[in-house]
Structure 1
Amino acid sequence: MNAVTRRAVIATAAVSMALSLAACGQAGGGDSEDKGSSTKIGLLLPENKTSRYEALDKPQFEKAVKAACSDCEIVYNNAVSDVVKQKQQFDQLIADGVKVIALDPVDSAKAAGWVKDAKAKGVKVVAYDRAVPGADAYVSHDNNKVGELQGQALLAALGSKAATANVVMINGDEKDPNAALFKKGAHTALDGKVGKIAYEASGEWDPKVAGEKMSAAISSVGKDKIGAVYSANDGMAGGIITSLENAGVKNVPVGGQDAEVAGIQRIVAGSQTFTIYKSPLQLAPEAAKFAVNLLKGKELGAQGATDGVPSTLFPPVVVDKTNIQTTVIADGIYKAADVCTADLAAKCTELGIK
């Protein structure tokens, strides 16, 4: 998807959201502290080790809801990777009269039971980014495609070396259903096209754990025998790259995901090869649209269905040093100043980032 097409998709999504939510402001001005209120929307995000949740998803979701529904109250919590804490947050939202919850679960399998209980109490759930069985709606990106793009980008970086390369795979948390899709997609792209997957483990979405697993891979495979590293996200890629540098391993392609500013900076610097951009300008407005439409009993406006749940899945985009300007900068996710710190200014100029 080129930059012009992507901005058109984002603009269309924004217009659709505005039209769908226009009637929201008519909801009658009851006391927002009233537990019977129908204007409360909950947002529960899973962790804060991945910076995108606090830096991008949360503010974009809040902005999208408030822009179209001034009397909707948003109640937010982050589970900091603790499924027990998230269950408490979920239950508290229901106790406080929240009628729709946008939930990005720490553990989707466990969250399925929460959704069932919520439905019995008349509470609707939008599965945000990660699928939850039984949810009323689901919005995400095509997560199998994310993995395929990651694998294809590694192959492109390896070039003629791919057929004999030893690849290390550091996957996401096994409790996250998206991690399984990323892994599956990456294997689809890599299996049979690289020498072998020489080491594979879960980094648990934790940069420290991922770095430790990378160190173990270096010991197992040999520091001079690693051809490329698949990292399921940018946060873990940071820990992986630190381990590679500490071991003196150089010029090894490392991929990532989420287009975190730190990941983009590593791409500019040359230590990370690519990331996958999943625009919150698509994800958050669509989730907001679903949430408010459920609140008001309106048609969802989903693009399709996933395992029987009405859903919209957006296409992901590979970002490397050639298209930083036309993706995350052009879309307004980051300003050039966010990326181009003093030590990166010269390289940013070379890459046309402005």
Structure 2
Amino acid sequence: MKKFKFISALVVAMLMAVLVVGCSNDAAGGDGNKSGKKSKGKVNVGIVLPTKDEPRWVQDETRFHDALKDSEYTTEILFSQGSSAKEKENVETLLNKGIDVLIIAPHDGPAAGAAVEAAKKDGVTVIAYDRLITDTKGIDYYVTFDSVAVGEAQGQYLIDHAADGKDIPLYLYAGAASDNNAFLFFEGAWKVLQPKIADGTFVIANSSAAEALKDKAELSRDELGKVLGQVTTNWDANEAKNKAQTHLTAASKELKGEVAVLAPNDGTSRAIADVFGTDPDVSKYVITGQDAEKASIQYIIDGKQSMTVFKDVRTLVADAMGMAVDILDGKKPETTGSYDNGSIEVPAKQTDVIVIEQENVKSELIDSGYYEESEFKGL
């Protein structure tokens, strides 16, 4: 009888142990092996975007939400608001929610390294989105538009649409020196513009560093850094406006008249265009942009901005989320190239870009459903 009671007690104890293990697995969503299966209260894909203060990133937020609305997977989007400390905090918040994939568009490429390395240590797959994270082995993939091609398109537009003749004043502006893309955009533009600077078609009006390098077709990272140090806007419209005002105030009449302006994105382009458009000594300006922001499309329709490089966020988001879903499903994502981030070659998926000007606003942006015609005047 004592033996029977002992065996019964042992069986009960074993059953209790099984139940405890089962409950533990259920509480973890059965996800101890990062299988990616959706579980109650779990975030599968964490997304960190740089700021809510630029329309571009607010558009991206909407597209990301739409991309997974019919999926079994869940996502959470946080904004860093231009702060590397906040960016790191956002990554930590998402890691605590058990994410399997981190998609991050860094505020500062090198500074984001510490945040993504923490994610890698946690077994999370890291996808750099639109902006490359540099000097770290902590990223797995990069989803991007061809940033060099963006700059090439901007430079070629200035060549094709600037005034005829020689000594056309060329004003150069760039994004933030903390953003690797700013280097790539400028690299692409310089590649196209430099021969026309060297032969005297353009004369650089606002950068002694660029003027000193005008005969050099390819610039090193350090040389690019010197030029960007003089013409950076930090992606800030007010800084762009102040720089443009300073440059035009200092410029002689020979550096005005009909001018060409390399502006890195739409926000800075509008700010710079407003300055050049009100200078009585500037008779005409051709100015570039990037991102196809609504306000800049209206500027293009009104003739105040010449062009913008359209990077269809729908495609970029689809590429990023497609890559994330492949990872969650245990598949290897498709890539089309790679980028050297200073530590490793990062496998990348690249998306094409399109030049938008007055003639094709309707066909590329309205007819494709990207914007509604009712959002603009004068189309």
TM normalised by structure 2 equals 0.77
Residue matched to 1:292: 325
Residue matched to 2:63: 60
Residue matched to 1:17: none
Secondary structure of residue in 2 paired with 1:139 = strand
Aligned partners of 1:192 and 1:30: how far apart in 2?
57
Match of 1:195 among 161, 178, 202: 202
Residues 141-150 or 197-206, more deviating: 197-206
Secondary structure of residue in 1 paired with 2:81 = coil
CA gap 1:42/1:266 in 2 versus in 1, 3 angstroms: same
Query: Is residue 143–residue 178 contact of structure 1 (8 Å, CA) maintained in 2?
Result: yes
Establish whether residue 172 from structure 1 lines up as the match of residue 181 from structure 2: no
Instruction: For 2:176, give the aligned amino acid.
Output: D
CA gap 1:303/1:225 in 2 versus in 1, 3 angstroms: same
Residue matched to 2:30: none
Deviation at 1:325, TM superposition (A): 1.3
Instruction: For 2:347, give the aligned amino acid.
Output: P
CA gap 1:60/1:196 in 2 versus in 1, 3 angstroms: same
Secondary structure of residue in 2 paired with 1:252 = strand
Secondary structure of residue in 2 paired with 1:253 = strand
> For residues 146-157 of structure 1, what are the structure 2 equivalents within 5 Å?
146-157=150-161
Establish whether residue 244 from structure 1 lines up as the match of residue 276 from structure 2: yes
Aligned partners of 2:242 and 2:254: how far apart in 1?
18
Query: Is residue 65–residue 292 contact of structure 1 (8 Å, CA) maintained in 2?
Result: no
Residues 56-65 or 235-244, more deviating: 56-65
Task: Find the structure with the greater CA-based Rg.
Answer: 2
> For residues 232-271 of structure 1, what are the structure 2 equivalents within 5 Å?
232-248=264-280, 249-271=282-304
> For residues 132-151 of structure 1, what are the structure 2 equivalents within 5 Å?
132-133=133-134, 134=137, 135-151=139-155
Residues 330-339 or 289-298, more deviating: 289-298
Secondary structure of residue in 1 paired with 2:173 = strand
Residues 261-270 or 56-65, more deviating: 56-65
Query: Is residue 169–residue 229 contact of structure 1 (8 Å, CA) maintained in 2?
Result: yes
> For residues 222-233 of structure 1, what are the structure 2 equivalents within 5 Å?
222=252, 225-226=255-256, 227-233=259-265
Query: Is residue 172–residue 262 contact of structure 2 (8 Å, CA) maintained in 1?
Result: yes
Secondary structure of residue in 2 paired with 1:291 = helix
Aligned partners of 2:314 and 2:77: how far apart in 1?
19
Residues 147-156 or 327-336, more deviating: 327-336
Residue matched to 1:22: none
Structure with the bigger RCO (C-alpha within 8 Å, sep 6+) is 1
Match of 2:53 among 49, 52, 56: 49
Secondary structure of residue in 2 paired with 1:241 = helix
Aligned partners of 1:192 and 1:303: how far apart in 2?
30
Residue matched to 2:20: none
Structure 2 unmatched ranges of 5 or more:
1-34, 208-230
Secondary structure of residue in 2 paired with 1:125 = strand
Deviation at 1:296, TM superposition (A): 2.9
Structure 1 stretches of at least 4 aligned residues deviating more than 6 Å after TM superposition? none
Q: Deviations over 1:1-26 (max 9, x none)?
A: xxxxxxxxxxxxxxxxxxxxxxxxx9
CA gap 1:29/1:315 in 2 versus in 1, 3 angstroms: closer
Query: Is residue 310–residue 354 contact of structure 2 (8 Å, CA) maintained in 1?
Result: yes
Aligned partners of 1:159 and 1:297: how far apart in 2?
55
Structure 1 unmatched ranges of 5 or more:
1-25, 349-354
Aligned partners of 1:329 and 1:83: how far apart in 2?
36
Query: Is residue 50–residue 107 contact of structure 2 (8 Å, CA) maintained in 1?
Result: yes
Query: Is residue 38–residue 44 contact of structure 2 (8 Å, CA) maintained in 1?
Result: no
Residue matched to 1:324: 361
Deviation at 1:128, TM superposition (A): 0.5
Deviation at 1:66, TM superposition (A): 2.5
Deviation at 1:159, TM superposition (A): 4.2
Residues 264-273 or 301-310, more deviating: 301-310
Residue matched to 1:208: 238
Instruction: For 1:231, give the aligned amino acid.
Output: A
Instruction: For 2:263, give the aligned amino acid.
Output: S
Secondary structure of residue in 2 paired with 1:148 = helix
Instruction: For 1:271, give the aligned amino acid.
Output: K
Secondary structure of residue in 2 paired with 1:251 = strand
Aligned partners of 1:118 and 1:27: how far apart in 2?
16
Deviation at 1:62, TM superposition (A): 1.9
Q: Percent identity?
A: 29
Instruction: For 1:117, give the aligned amino acid.
Output: A
Size of the aligned set, in residue pairs, is 308
TM normalised by structure 1 equals 0.82
Secondary structure of residue in 1 paired with 2:255 = coil
Establish whether residue 335 from structure 1 lines up as the match of residue 335 from structure 2: no
Residue matched to 1:304: 337
